[in-house]
Homo-oligomer: A and B are copies of this chain.
Amino acid sequence: MARIVQKYGGSSVRDTDRILSVARRIKQCRDRGDDLIVVVSAMGGVTDRLIALAKEVNPDPNEREMDMLLATGEQQSVALLALALHGLGCPAISFTGAQAGIETDDTHSKARIRSIQPRRIRERLEQGKVVIVAGFQGRGDDDAITTLGRGGSDLTAVALAAALKADLCQIFTDVDGVYTADPRLAPDARKIDRISHDEMLELASLGAKVMQARSIEFAKKFGVDLEVRSSLNDRPGTLITKETKDMEDVVIRGVSADRTEAKLTVTHIPDRPGRAARLFQILAAAAINVDMIVQNVSADGFTDISFTVPRADLDKIRRRLADRIQKEVQAEEILYDERIAKISAVGIGMRSHSGIAARMFTILAERDINIEMIATSEIKISCVIREHAAEHAVRALHTAFGLGRDDRGASDE
């Protein structure tokens, strides 16, 4: 008997037929004797509809009230899933994030989990019930309803798996697992059977949309084994687990393209100590995540700073921060560029194989793809390029690093 946390995303519960099919899958697992905690997202489309309603009454909605509004999506799906399970004769109970003991800070719309008090979940598991928890949400100070931001339901699942010492955390989605590249970009991409937390972390943070980086970080920190798999079939998915020695044999595990970032350039900043710091303080205070940063060599006592941020935050920067940045940093202007893509190659094999960065730059150069920004870590190399070149770049790297189905042939794991 295992204790398993399962998470079903919005597309897996997008209508009542899907909810019933998820319920049947859960019942099967429970009939095998597993302890089940199930985390559910809002039914596909519900969150978007709620956001549209909010914009109709207020184009610039307050985040506390948006959390209040959006948290209802998950609350509806947990109740419906519990009802569907009852209909199959499977004992089940639903909890909101707050009821499940998920305590967060007060950063509305992207709250951080502070702690989990799983008393109620444990009690109900002991009573033999499947416990269904609303993903994406928690309780802030003074009982405020908070949401965890994008990918928040995955985070709920991983955090519960850690708090409840679950054997496995399964993330059910509409893809079969994690691929060596986005199959829409590289049609010969293969499903990866096993991947380390670190590799998955880099792939996630680089735009492989299967899971958000935060959840994988959390899983790594607490040693949670994750399985990403499809809710539409019974095939095993991709296991994201702690690193083992043999994983280094593969130099590049996957290639990704991220088209969710925008590049900002703040020009002609007086090159004096504290100016760059001030710029990023303002962004940090507004809870905007800055990814890559490049500062030009100073000329005539002035410099330009380029950096990337989520495109979703551009509006907020334009409306609320741009004036302040220009004034406090004494910049000439702020340039916005949304037409970029970040292309990355990831693999823990890089540690033991040299020259991977040079090879990547060569592959891109041979295809006339210009590199605008570069960032590297121990196990990944990222390049910002023009957005329209993203697909071409991914295919070229995927083939050149031998990741395709045909390239590997019999050596396929």
Contact = CB atoms under 8 A, between A and B. Distances in A.
Interface of A: 16, 19-20, 23, 50, 53-54, 56-62, 64-66, 68-69, 71-72, 75-76, 78-84, 86-87, 93-94, 96, 98-99, 120, 142-145
The binding surface of chain A is classed by DSSP as helix
A75 B72 contact: yes
B96 A83 contact: no
B99 A83 contact: no
A403 to B, nearest CB: 42
A83 B98 contact: no
B72 A58 contact: no
Nearest to A83: B58
A69 B76 contact: yes
22 contacts: A16-B53, A16-B57, A23-B57, A53-B76, A54-B79, A54-B80, A57-B87, A58-B84, A58-B87, A61-B83, A62-B82, A65-B79, A68-B78, A68-B82, A69-B75, A69-B76, A69-B80, A72-B72, A72-B75, A72-B76, A96-B145, A99-B143
A131 B59 CA distance: 21
Nearest to A20: B57
Contact of A83 (B57, B142, B145): B57
A19 B65 CA distance: 15
Nearest to A81: B57
Given A57-B20, A57-B23, A145-B96, A75 B79 contact: no
Contact of A142 (B79, B80, B120): B120
A76 B52 CA distance: 13
A122 B11 CA distance: 42
A362 to B, nearest CB: 53
Contacts of A96: 68, 145
Contact of A82 (B23, B65, B120): B65
